[in-house]
Amino acid sequence: ETIESPDGLLKNCQGACDNDTDCEGSLVCYTRFDFEAVPGCSGTGDEAVNYCCDRPPNFFLYIGDDLGSDQYGLCEGDCDEDEDCIGSLICGQRDGYGEVEGCEGDGKRSSDYCRPPDTDEESSSPSSSPSYYQYKLDGRVCPQLKDEPNWQGPAPFSDKSNVALQLFAFADTPYDSKSGCASCNTCIAEDGITKEEDCTRFDCILANSTLSELPDDNTCTFEGKDYECVEETLIPYMNSQIAAGDAALILHAGDILGGAKPLIPGGMKTGLNTRCQSHSFGSRRELFSTGENFLLLPGDNDWNECVGYDINSNSDPIRQLWRDYFANAASPLNQFGRDFPPTLGFPGGTRPHIDRKDTNPELFYFSHNKIALIGLNQVNGPAYIDGTDINEDWVEESLGLDTSCELESIVILSHRIPEQTVYDRIDSYFAGCGGSHLPILTITGDKHPPDYCMTRANNRLHLMVEAFQSGPIKVSVVRDPEGLEGDFFHVEDTQPEKWGCPDLL
């Protein structure tokens, strides 16, 4: 349908548009040169007229010529060479309206489009053959990671004979501290005990622009819909899976409150977030301690964005409070409280000891079944640790415990992707063990995707988990029973492609 739209944006399958800003919401303006098919629309339309549409990521989209390197996403063109494509995508050459592997539609005649790299043919059934143990593209891309293609590893067998470890990962929840959340205005009353569901002492749901009106010594707990989802759905579901032997632990990659960006006026290195205080941290500790084998790392919302953060020191009262509640020896989250399932490699069901760095107990390490799991403090925004080697030294110290070079894989947990210097220390460990590069999975939060992303660059994979009320991600470390291919990482999304509290129970 071709329409004139002077007063509003064009809806799905309406034209003519000139660019994406002419289209409603997340629709894109689909460029046409003839009568090319428009994804999700029927009919032929008018010749060379552009239409707004909801384009699947694997449908041809012409975005221009000669845009330069690292500019074209999956099934976008016109590329000239592989360097024009984002990440590991390659430029698929074609004549006329020829096919490009992994892409659908017509596209511009004789234009070239970026496609997934070549992979071996998929095995038709689970086995211990090498063809089963490989990574494959799942047809999705990751918008938060420059449309990098999404990868998936081989699935665990039902009898777990190829499973070395299974765990849950989630992040960036519960927030429950933004304006407009009427159910989030919770606090502790003046008696220091009673919970008020509608706080009479403070306005706990101020917007960031007026957050300075919330006193530093407030007693807000921010227990709204996000909190309710974690308390009543996510943690009970993960606990039931652990009790059934289908996972061993829960990892949270940081951000447990709404945040407020750091303020650095006149040389002062501090934050704006008055949501960080003993009552909000106490609320989260009470919540997370109900989770079986729960481990937590700091995010910027509850670390360097907090009022009182000192960027020139490794410690201050607010960081000490975080460490006391979530990491130090007296915290219920300091060590595992439940044996790992015997099906996951510990005969009789035992649990590993968690090592924590003395000066930075938020950093942790443990090994299980020849897998090293390392927790780092890598938050978003300016932070004291960025100018130090604390993360790097912890990685080196932790991997140095593997004096016999027996590890099969490494899992890193961090709020955002660590600096390259961290991976340089891992490479040094590899060099000391003969040069073979083990698979590395880095699990992060921070970007808030509605669906998880797992990108890949050689032996390194990056898993970005979902945010807010989304279902947790189940990660399986899969090992070839015959020892031919080593460890792989398989991801199962308990609630694909949307936000909102899932129906898991």
Taking 70 as the threshold, does the pLDDT of residue 367 lie above it?
yes
Instruction: Give me the pLDDT at residue 295, please.
Output: 98
Taking 70 as the threshold, does the pLDDT of residue 162 lie above it?
yes
Task: Decide: 403 and 381 in contact? Cβ < 8 Å.
Answer: no
Task: Decide: 277 and 211 in contact? Cβ < 8 Å.
Answer: no
Instruction: Give me the pLDDT at residue 451, please.
Output: 85
pLDDT in tens, 171-192: 999 988 776 688 899 999 999 9
**DSSP output for 96-135:** TT---TT-BS--STT--EEEPPP-PPPPSS--SSTTTSS-
pLDDT in tens, 117-136: 876 443 333 444 556 888 98
- Which structure tokens are listed for 394? 């912890």
pLDDT in tens, 408-445: 999 999 999 999 999 999 999 999 998 889 999 999 99
Taking 60 as the threshold, does the pLDDT of residue 265 lie above it?
no
Whole-angstrom distance, CA of residue 323 vs CA of residue 341: 28
Which pLDDT band, with edges at 50, 70 and 90, does 28 fall under? confident
Bridge-based pairing of strands 453-457 and 460-464 is antiparallel
Bridge-based pairing of strands 187-188 and 195-196 is antiparallel
- Residue 266: count other Cβ atoms within 10 Å of its Cβ: 4
232 vs 62: which has the higher pLDDT: 232
Averaged pLDDT for residues 145-172 = 91
User: Which residues make Cβ contacts (< 8 Å) with residue 461, sequence separation at least 6?
Assistant: 151, 439, 440, 441, 442, 454, 455, 489
Taking 70 as the threshold, does the pLDDT of residue 3 lie above it?
no
Burial (CB < 10 A; 0-12, 13-18, 19+), residue 198, is: exposed
Taking 80 as the threshold, does the pLDDT of residue 263 lie above it?
no
Burial (CB < 10 A; 0-12, 13-18, 19+), residue 468, is: buried
Averaged pLDDT for residues 276-297 = 98
Looking at 119-133, 221-235, 360-374, which range is the least confident one? Answer: 119-133
Taking 60 as the threshold, does the pLDDT of residue 23 lie above it?
yes
DSSP letter at 418 equals: P
Whole-angstrom distance, CA of residue 501 vs CA of residue 173: 11
Instruction: Give me the pLDDT at residue 347, please.
Output: 54
- Which structure tokens are listed for 432? 């000391």
Q: What are phi and psi of 480, to 5 degrees?
A: -60, 120
Whole-angstrom distance, CA of residue 327 vs CA of residue 329: 7
pLDDT in tens, 80-96: 988 898 877 899 988 77
